[in-house]
Amino acid sequence: MHSNLFNESLHFRACLLTLLCSALSGCVGIPPDQESVVVTRAQMQMGTLVKITAVARSESVAQAAATAAFTEIRRLEELLSTWIPTSELSRVNASAGIMPVHVSPETLTVVQRAVQAAEMTDGGFNIAIGPAVDAWSVMESQRIPTESELDALRPLVDLQAVHVDVREQTIYLGKAGMRIDVGGIGKGYAADQAVDALRKAGAIAGVVALSGDIKTFGRLPGGKMFPVGIQHPRNYGSVLAWIDLENEAISTAGDYERFFEREGVRYHHILDPRTLQPARSCQSVTVIAREGIWADGLDTGIFVMGAELGMQLVEALPDVEAVIVDHEGHVHVSSGLRDRIRKP
Ligand code: ADP
Ligand code: MG
């Protein structure tokens, strides 16, 4: 029994922030120059390792800012976790087919953006996927659901039956048995909100990383941007490419952390909403956007769309870039990133 919020493996995408922290090592809690202090802290939240780096004019402000950011993530976890029976989303799910549930602006925002992400990714992203995610329980049961089992769930994976009433501030799932799962977008949103908390608490720069969902603001003391490594989807621990970020979010969806293998076939946690089988067209999708909510929502949706259609979408969106590793291991880089990424 585990209590992961977003059903995340503890095999976090270590690479992304471990590498960032190594860039910062030697300055944790120590003034790196006359003007600023860098504090880095980590704890388990939302079922994953959360690392927060705060840059401020004094150690006490940096510590307070990091604390405020962790507190904000905990608050969102209590709204959005489907592992917490009293959370707003759990109440929405428990009321499926019965009645609308009044929710906070935060929950409403996540679900609204998720519906928009579904439209943008041609249904690749679909938060109504909950019953299928449960049927697979990739990390818990490691069993392959039968086709008839999945067929029975298919009518429940119906985004048209997710009713968001902005005026009443309610969410209603129209069919009994439906369940929404924000595991594919909620950590990106939490990173955005935690960065706002850092800023409001007086930090002048910082990074919030919920495993592979990372949001940066400002620059390192000394003026350098925050370096982030993109994990290679097949060579565990090795970096595919480096990118420097400033006031941007980066998020990776991959088939290499939460999976099991049976007779040479890899079964992982990103499902194609049409087949309800693990999506097969990519190994990993990394998206860079201004906001974490878009980076996270789009990485999962593009993973389902595949490299060709996914890259077309990225090229059409302003301020969105991507590195896509397709199912054969070929690496596709969006035009706006070609001059920005560095090979290790
Ligand atoms: P991670 O959780 O590893 O950061 P993702 O952002 O790709 O990676 O989210 C994967 C999670 O999203 C799954 O664990 C599941 O809860 C949910 N999910 C799976 N398939 C889909 C899908 N097609 N659309 C929306 N959410 C999905
Ligand atoms: Mg995602």
Q: Which residue type sits at 260? A: F
Percent pLDDT > 90 in the chain is: 82
Ligand 1 atom closest to the Cα of residue 303 is 7
Distance from Cα 207 to the centre of ligand 2, integer Å: 18
Enter the DSSP assignment of 3.
-
The CA-atom distances, in angstroms, between 150 and each of 55, 154, 192, 264, 272 are: 48, 6, 35, 22, 12
- Near ion ligand 2, which residues have CB within 5 Å? 184, 253, 296, 299-300
Distance from Cα 25 to the centre of ligand 1, integer Å: 32
The CA-atom distances, in angstroms, between 321 and each of 133, 217, 293 are: 28, 17, 14
Do the beta carbons of residue 119 and residue 160 sit within 8 Å?
A: no
Ligand 1 and 286: CB distance under 6 A? no
Ligand 1 and 218: CB distance under 6 A? no
Least confident span in 25-34, 39-48, 252-261: 25-34
Ligand 1 atom closest to the Cα of residue 272 is 23
Q: What is the pLDDT of residue 141?
A: 78
pLDDT, mean of residues 232-247: 95
pTM recorded for the entire structure: 0.92
Q: Is 26 left (phi over 0), alpha (psi -120 to 50) or beta?
A: left
CA distance 133 to 131: 6
Distance from Cα 252 to the centre of ligand 2, integer Å: 7
Q: With 60 as the cut, is the pLDDT of residue 163 above it?
A: yes
Distance from Cα 187 to the centre of ligand 2, integer Å: 8
Of 142 and 109, more confident: 109
CA distance 270 to 303: 8
Ligand 1 and 8: CB distance under 6 A? yes
Q: pLDDT tier at 17 (50, 70, 90 boundaries)?
A: very low
Q: Which ligand number lies closest to the CA of residue 138?
A: 1
**Domains along the chain with CATH numbers:** 72-198+212-344 (3.10.520.10)
Max mean pLDDT range (27-36, 59-68, 264-273) = 59-68
pLDDT, mean of residues 170-192: 98
CA distance 3 to 9: 11
Strand (E) positions, 98-225?
101-102, 162-165, 170-173, 205-210, 213-217
| Closest by CA position to 281, among listed 121, 128, 144, 154 | 121
Q: With 90 as the cut, is the pLDDT of residue 309 above it?
A: yes
Enter the DSSP assignment of 34.
S
CA distance 248 to 195: 11
Pocket test for ligand 1, best of 230, 270, 271, 287 (most atoms within 8 A of CB): 270
Least confident span in 79-88, 100-109, 253-262, 276-285: 253-262
Enter the DSSP assignment of 7.
-
Ligand 1 and 7: CB distance under 6 A? yes
Q: What is the pLDDT of residue 138?
A: 76
Q: What is the pLDDT of residue 57?
A: 96
Ligand 1 and 126: CB distance under 6 A? yes
Q: What is the pLDDT of residue 236?
A: 87
